[in-house]
Amino acid sequence: MAVRKPSKTIKKSSTSHADTIGAYLVQRLQDYGLNDLFGIPGDFVLQFYGLLEESPIRVIGMTREDCAGYAADGYARIHGLSAVCITYCVGGLSLCNSIAGAYAEKSPVIVISGAPGMDERQSDPLLHHRVKGFNTQREVFEKITVATASLDDPLTAFREIDRCLEAAVRFKRPVYLELPRDRVQTKSTVPHVIKNEIIKSDKDSLKESLEDAARTIEASKKPVIIAGVEIHRFGLRKELLKLAEKHKIPMSATLLGKSVISEKHPLFIGLYEGAMGRDSVQKYVEESDCVILLGTFMTDINLGIFTAHLDPGKCIYATSEKLRIKHHHFHDVLLEDFVKGLAKTEMKVIKRPVLKKDKESRKKQELSSDSKVTINHLFNRLNELLDEKMVVVADVGDSLFGASDLTIYKHTEFISSAYYASMGFAIPASVGIQVADKNLRPIVLVGDGAFQMTCLELSTAARHQFNPIVVVLNNKGYTTERFLQEGPFNDIPNWEYHRLPDLIGEGWGFEVDSVGELDNALNAAIANKDTFSILNVHLDSLDISPALDRLAKRLSKKI
């Protein structure tokens, strides 16, 4: 069985000096490099919150549990690991959607939930927050995490904490720990020793897979690399670049993996996303006789709603869960070992001309200052503003599709829910991002529908003096759904989004109707570094991004 080593940010001691279950959990969070934790307190978890208050860990209180999960997800994508702490059932079950998204997109979040005490469960009482049985919440989280544990037994609790935290780091997925309130101060009955288990790839499988991959690449005339989100999750960007630069192999990326590599790199050809992407990129990739997919999950959105066409017989497909070279399957090979080994392998690779950057989506519109803002102009203007200290956080819908054409300068500068596609992700995720690194400036792209779901987390941003620039694409409804099936159910109330700072008591708001107002608002927002800025950008309800337009036109030929 293949297992990865802990990341370099993790410090492990051989023996525990914390003798209670709660104190040990707090210690282990710090051992794994966590300085922050998100959540909302409740009576079943208040004792543990007391321990957190006494520790160096900063607790970031959010307005809703699902938002706490989105924030923890955003933090994990920057920091590498995160934690969220909530109360029993009313808190935990509210958290389920954001943790399901973290599981789907491989973001390691440690969920810590309080629970009724073991002693108070006697005679099966109907305690508040209880749904069905006392194990109901844990059974729900078993479906959306990679490991769960109830810390009710001092004989096993310390070992279970170690097991779950290691699973989060190893699999890059959420884990769940349930702590009954009368076990927070329970002491260990025996001394606990931390086992530093290191699991490696099967030596023979790794050797054969690398030899097979090298033969396949050397035999090709048109190789191309498609980089996916796991290259970021497992910290393999340098190895990927070494492989590509050593052999001059052109590189693409998926939408979920956007910003895994700089889009300014001379070998980068653009995003591969089926009909949603550019014709030239799709043709270049699909004409390849060797597609090297590294850390890439072939989801329907990554594949442009399955309008992409890749022949498995011409693919090297490597993720943390599967390794397939053409039709040959290899087992017990770590993604890290395969990518690092491939980067070191000496090969004679035919140099393929790199696709020139396609300017299709960057067509300049000649608009006067009093012209109405269009989606295309908005994203062109945003593209001009991006620099190396900004991170684009895109919510679901045309905010995401339009953002796919932005040019991201640096590694990890684009974050979105591009597979699970949960509306409302972006604003709370931007809070998590700035908790992880306050020097990053989030540009939050969010539709008006998604904004209405989680916008009050801007109060959390204001509380911590964060300064995201929030651009609300206000077209009075759900654009992507209008494209799929029009109906009054796609219409939503038109809020005065730019007046939200009046409610919160902080922040700058701008109402944008024209091109001139957009320029003025963006310039002012960039200059405002002390608090958040929100731009209420009025758009035509039928205006869509170039990416969504490309997808619509190509799908219409099939439907």
425 and 339 in one domain?
A: no
Does residue 4 carry a pLDDT above 50?
Answer: no
553 Cβ contact list (under 8 Å, min separation 6): none
Query: What is the C-alpha separation between 68 and 45, in angstroms, rounded?
Result: 15
Instruction: Kindly state whether residues 318 and 457 are assigned to the same domain.
Output: no
Q: Is 111 helix (H, G, I), strand (E, B) or coil?
A: strand
Residue 507 domain-assigned?
A: yes
Residue 266 lies in a domain: yes
- Going edge to edge, which strands form the sheet with 36-39? 58-61, 36-39, 82-86, 109-115, 175-180, 147-150
Task: Identify whether residues 247 and 388 lie together within a single domain.
Answer: no
Q: Is the domain of 163 the same as that of 222?
A: no
User: Which tokens go with 532?
Assistant: 């958040």
pLDDT over threshold 90, residue 359: no
| Residue 467 belongs to a domain | yes
Q: Domain range spanning residue 316? A: 203-344
pLDDT in tens, 194-237: 887 788 999 999 999 999 999 999 999 999 999 999 999 999 99
In a domain, 253, yes or no: yes
The Cα 358–Cα 483 span in angstroms is 25
Share of the chain above pLDDT 70, in %: 90
Please tell me the predicted confidence (pLDDT) of residue 8. Answer: 38
Amino acid 410: pLDDT: 66
Shared domain check, 535 and 392 = yes
Q: Indicate whether 100 belongs to any domain.
A: yes
pLDDT at residue number 465: 96
Digit-coded pLDDT (tens) for 260-281: 888 889 999 998 876 667 888 9
Instruction: Tell me: do 328 and 376 sit in the same domain.
Output: no
> Is residue 47 in a domain?
yes
C-alpha distance from residue 511 to each of 349, 459, 473, 524 (Å): 54, 19, 11, 12
Average pLDDT over residues 511-526: 97
For residue 13, tell me if it sits in a domain: no
Q: Could you tell me where the DSSP H helices lie in 147-266?
A: 157-171, 203-218, 229-233, 237-247
Taking 80 as the threshold, does the pLDDT of residue 149 lie above it? yes
Average pLDDT over residues 163-192: 95
Same domain, yes or no, for 176 and 207? Answer: no
User: 529: exposed, middle or buried (C-beta count within 10 Å: 0-12, 13-18, 19+)?
Assistant: exposed
Are 335 and 206 in contact by the 8 Å Cβ rule? The answer is no
Same domain, 212 and 307: yes
Same domain, 60 and 158: yes
**Structural tokens at position 360:** 């299709």
Is the per-residue pLDDT at 101 higher than 80?
Answer: yes
CA atoms of 349 and 399, how far apart (whole Å): 39
The CATH number given to whatever domain includes residue 70 is 3.40.50.970
Q: Is there a single domain that holds both residue 384 and residue 511?
A: yes
Q: Are residues 25 and 157 in the same domain?
A: yes
- Same domain, yes or no, for 339 and 377? no
> Looking at the domain assignment, is residue 105 inside a domain?
yes
Residues 45, 469: Cα–Cα separation, whole Å: 34
What's the structural domain count of the chain? Answer: 3
Q: Pick from 117, 145, 180: which residue ends a domain?
A: 180
